[in-house]
Amino acid sequence: MAMSNLYFHFPFCKQACHYCNFHFSTNQKGIDQMWGAMQRELELRSDEVNDPLESIYFGGGSPSLLPHDKIIQLLGQVRTQFSLQEQLEVTLEVNPDDVTQKYLRELKQAGVNRLSLGIQSFHEKDLRLMNRAHSQEQAFNALKWVSQVFTNFSVDLIYGMPNSTMEEWEENLHRLMEFNPPHLSTYALTVEEKTVLHHQVENGSVPLLEEEEVKAQYDFLVKKLEALGYVNYEFSNFGKEGFFSVNNQNYWNGKPYIGIGPSAHSYDGSSSRSWNVSNNHKYLSTIENGTLEREAEILSTKDQYNEYVMTGLRKIEGISLDHVKHTFGNMYAAYMEAQVTRHLEERNFFWDGDFLKITPKAKFLSDGLAADLFKI
Could you give the 3-state DSSP secondary structure of residue 52?
coil
Q: How high is the mean pLDDT of the chain?
A: 93
- The per-residue pLDDT for range 127-186, each reduced to its tens digit, is 998 999 999 999 999 999 999 999 999 999 999 999 899 999 999 999 999 999 999 999
| Whole-angstrom distance, CA of residue 97 vs CA of residue 23 | 20
Task: Compute the residue count for the chain.
Answer: 376
- The per-residue pLDDT for range 255-273, each reduced to its tens digit, is 999 999 999 999 998 899 9
Q: What band does 116 get if pLDDT is binned at 50, 70 and 90?
A: very high
Work out the angle between the directed axes of helices 330-345 and 321-328 (0-180°, nearest 10).
150
Residues in CB range of 153: below 8 A, 6 or more apart:
114, 115, 116, 117, 146, 147, 181, 182, 183
What percentage of the chain exceeds 90 in pLDDT?
Answer: 78
What is the average per-residue pLDDT within 327-336?
A: 96
Domain ranges of the chain: 5-252, 301-373
> CATH number for the 301-373 domain, one of 3.30.70.20, 3.90.320.10, 1.10.10.920, 3.40.50.10740?
1.10.10.920
Is the pLDDT confidence value at 25 over 90?
no
| Whole-angstrom distance, CA of residue 147 vs CA of residue 116 | 12
- The per-residue pLDDT for range 279-290, each reduced to its tens digit, is 999 999 999 999
- The per-residue pLDDT for range 196-250, each reduced to its tens digit, is 999 898 898 888 899 999 999 999 999 999 999 999 999 999 999 999 999 999 9
Q: What band does 3 get if pLDDT is binned at 50, 70 and 90?
A: low
| Whole-angstrom distance, CA of residue 46 vs CA of residue 260 | 11
Q: Where are the beta strands (DSSP E) in 100-189?
A: 114-120, 153-159, 183-188
Q: What band does 306 get if pLDDT is binned at 50, 70 and 90?
A: very high
Is the pLDDT confidence value at 98 over 60?
yes
Could you give the 3-state DSSP secondary structure of residue 9?
strand
pLDDT (0 to 100) of residue 1: 45
pLDDT (0 to 100) of residue 169: 97
| Whole-angstrom distance, CA of residue 150 vs CA of residue 116 | 11
| Whole-angstrom distance, CA of residue 295 vs CA of residue 265 | 10
How is domain 5-252 classified at the CATH fold level?
TIM Barrel (3.20.20)
What is the average per-residue pLDDT within 90-117?
A: 96
What percentage of the chain exceeds 70 in pLDDT?
Answer: 99
Measured between alpha carbons, how far is residue 135 from residues 123, 124, 261, 316 in Å? 9, 7, 29, 34
DSSP assigned state of 373: H
